[in-house]
Amino acid sequence: MNKIMMKGTEAIGEAAIRAGCRLYFGYPITPQSELTEYMARRLPQVEGTFLQAESEVAAVNMIYGASSVGKRVMTSTSSPGFSLMQEGVSYIACAQLPSVFVNVVRGGPGLGDIQPSQGDYFQATKGGGHGDYKLLVLSPSTVQEAADLTGVAFELADKYRNPVLIFADGLLGQMMEPVSFSDKKVSYDNSSWALIGAKNRPARQVTSFNIDPYGLEKMNLELQKKYKLMEENEIRYETTLTEDADILIVAHGTMGRIAKSVVEMARKDGLKVGLFRPITLYPFPYEALRKSAADVSLVLTVEMSSGQMLEDVRLAIAERTRVEFYGRMAGVVPMPLEIYEVLKQKIGRRS
């Protein structure tokens, strides 16, 4: 497989096309506009359709439309844009429409800045929109992984008829790394539920509406069953030197690979530090983390936020172990040495 240097945003775009996505609707916003622009350039070359929506609100509803007629479709945005999509996302989740979203998170809240951040973790994993729904949330840490997980995202979306969110940050979006793509032919078939004309069968409805609360509760229970299945089958994470670790760092996305450098530093100093990197943020790898953390004396969660995944980490290990947090906000990226210093300090304080 030939490797080419690509930005994370562009790799996601190319991978989507390889996954059979021929439709993109989106609205420009830094730091993800490269993905929008990539699709504008590439999709016409493969007889696909690129359309710049008039807003993120329009974009998410175009996704709803394209998905409801059975096609693989995707959009991408950055934080404020994803906030605008929340109503639509809730509709899509309830109507069980497969679709892929990319949020290249930037510093917030509000207009914030355009630097990398992970401050939309809660929004992504707990449901930024209304009601009891879940997105499948994937957090890649390298450009290659971003490409690979994009393929996975389309598969999972169809498998569960659920929206999938690729949660990236500005670092990953802008970073270039060598990447290769699989040439596997993809095919998919959503004709069993999609709105493609009531020909030789009863008319079909795709809906998030049920005026009868018992009917709606049934719809919700179906969703919950599906989420249960996801929790059983779709958990992904990566561990580095956790077997003998006395101290565990938990970090996701690019923060995860920055933390890997910390592990390397610490190991050189003879400190038994390991790394747990959740790849699926929802479903969160509670069980696996609990195991990895079973014998450590300290868990340090590092995020580019004020501490959001931290709550899931706490839930996972139920405070049997001390859980500390370190984070930077607003696009300030915690650096390896910086984190290592914090780590040493926390250990110091312990003794």
Partner 1 sequence: MTHSIIISGFGGQGVMLMGRVLCQAGMTEGKHVTWLPSYGPEMRGGTANCTVIISDEPVASPVVDSPEEVVVMNIPSLLKFEPIVRRNGYLFINSSVVDREPKRQDIKTIKVPANEIADQLGNLRVANMVMLGAFVFTTKCVNIESLIDAMKYKLKGKDSSIIELNVEAIKQGLRHVGG
Partner 2 sequence: MDYKVAYKMPRSLSGKQFTYCPGCHHGIVHRLIAETIDELDLREKTIIVAPVGCSVFAYEFFDIDGTVAPHGRAPAVATGMKRARPDLTIFTYQGDGDLAAIGTAEMIHAANRGELITTIFINNAIYGMTGGQMAPTTLLGMKTTTSPYGRKAEKEGYPVHVCEIIKELQGVAFLARTKVTTPRDVMTTKKYIKKAFQAQLKGLGYSLVEVLSTCPTNWGLSPEKAIKWLEENMTKEFPLGVYVDKVGDAK
Ligand X SMILES: Cc1ncc(C[n+]2csc(CCOP(=O)(O)OP(=O)(O)O)c2C)c(N)n1
Contact between 249 and ligand X per CB under 6 A:
no
Separation of alpha carbons 339 and 351, rounded Å = 19
Q: Is residue 84 near ligand X by the rule CB under 6 A?
A: yes
- The least distance separating partner 2 from the CB of residue 221, rounded to whole angstroms, comes to 21
Q: Is 90 a residue that touches a second copy (CB under 8 A)?
A: yes
> Is 211 a binder of partner 1 (CB under 8 A)?
yes
What sign results for the dihedral spanned by CA atoms 28, 58, 227, 312? positive
DSSP 4-32: EEEEHHHHHHHHHHHTT--EEEE---TTT
Per CB under 8 A, 213 contacts a second copy: yes
How many residues bind to ligand X according to rule CB under 6 A?
7
Residues 6+ apart with CB under 8 A from 217: none
Closest-CA residue to 56 (of 36, 72, 40): 36
Among 3, 4, 41, 126, interactor with partner 2 by CB under 8 A: 41
Q: Which of 80, 122, 219, 297 binds ligand X (CB under 6 A)?
A: 80
Candidate residues 71, 106, 161, 277; the one interacting with partner 2 per rule CB under 8 A: 71
> Using an 8 Å Cβ cutoff, are 330 and 278 in contact?
no
Token reading at 328: 């930077």
- Is residue 102 within a helix (H) or strand (E), and if so which, with residue range? strand 99-105
- Report the alpha-carbon distance of residue 261 to residue 275 in Å, rounded: 10
Site for ligand X contains 29 (CB under 6 A): yes
Among 41, 54, 182, 224, binds a second copy (CB under 8 A): 224
For the sheet with 298-303, list strands across it.
237-240, 273-278, 247-250, 298-303, 322-327
Tell me which stretch binds partner 1 (CB under 8 A): 187-195, 256-264, 289-297, 309-317: 256-264
> Structure tokens of 136?
């499948």
> Cβ distance 43 to 73 under 8 Å?
no
At its nearest, how many Å lie between partner 2 and the CB of residue 56? 8
Pattern of binders to partner 1 over 261-280, x per CB under 8 A?
A: xxxx----------------
Residue 82 binds ligand X (CB under 6 A): no
Least Cβ distance, residue 150 to partner 2 (angstroms): 19
Distance from the Cα of residue 118 to its chain's centroid: 11
In the list 52, 210, 261, 297, the residue contacting a second copy (rule: CB under 8 A) is 210
For residue 51, the surrounding DSSP H or E stretch is strand 49-52
- Are 50 and 1 contacting, i.e. CB atoms less than 8 angstroms apart? no
> Can residue 322 be called a binding residue for a second copy (CB under 8 A)?
no
Which residues contact ligand X by CB under 6 A? 27-29, 56, 80-81, 84
Residues in touch with partner 1 (CB under 8 A): 3, 5, 113, 171, 174-178, 211-213, 215, 254, 257-264, 333, 335-338
Sites of contact with a second copy (CB under 8 A) = 57, 79-80, 82-84, 86-87, 90-95, 105, 107-115, 117, 119-120, 122-123, 126-133, 207-217, 219-221, 223-224, 305-306, 308, 311, 314-315, 318-319, 328-332
